[in-house]
């Protein structure tokens, strides 16, 4: 997985639109976090960045991830539901959860 940017990398931009997303967690990286009790980059979202939202707003759900609680990204209001893919997502760097996604 190659990182091409982060949500904080675009100065002044508050919201990012992504299409065709995959939510990935490196289990080896997660185990290092649990073992060392220290943050490291081991999870991410891979997708295509777009400038605009879809014409018809899809049903969106909040997505979150916490390596101390979950082993994958999960639906924020139903943490028993793991999330692997979404067709569309809006990431807002000033809110939590930062992802609202149309889950596939």
How confident is the model over 75-97, as pLDDT tens digits? 988 999 899 988 888 776 666 65
Q: What is the pLDDT of residue 45?
A: 85
Tens-level pLDDT at each residue, the chain (104 residues): 444 454 444 444 556 677 788 999 999 999 999 999 998 999 988 888 876 666 665 677 888 899 999 999 999 889 998 999 888 887 766 666 556 667 76
Range of the domain at 86: 15-103
**41 neighbors 33 (Cβ within 8 angstroms):** no
Is the pTM higher than 0.85? Answer: no
Would 29 be classed as within a structural domain? yes
CA dihedral 22, 23, 29, 35 (to 10 degrees): -160
Would 84 be classed as within a structural domain? yes
* Domains of the chain: total: 1
Q: Do strands 74-75 and 15-25 pair parallel, antiparallel, or not at all (unpaired)?
A: unpaired
Would 44 be classed as within a structural domain? yes
């Amino acid at each position: 997985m190659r990182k091409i940017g982060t949500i904080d990398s675009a100065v002044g931009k508050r919201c990012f639109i992504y299409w065709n997303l995959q939510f990935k967690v490196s289990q080896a990286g997660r185990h290092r976090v649990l073992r060392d009790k220290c943050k490291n980059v081991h999870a991410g979202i891979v997708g295509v960045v777009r400038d605009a939202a879809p014409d018809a707003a899809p049903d969106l759900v909040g997505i979150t991830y916490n390596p101390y609680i979950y082993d994958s990204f999960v639906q924020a209001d139903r943490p028993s539901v793991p999330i692997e893919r979404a067709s569309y997502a809006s990431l807002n760097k000033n809110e939590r959860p930062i992802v609202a996604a149309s889950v596939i």
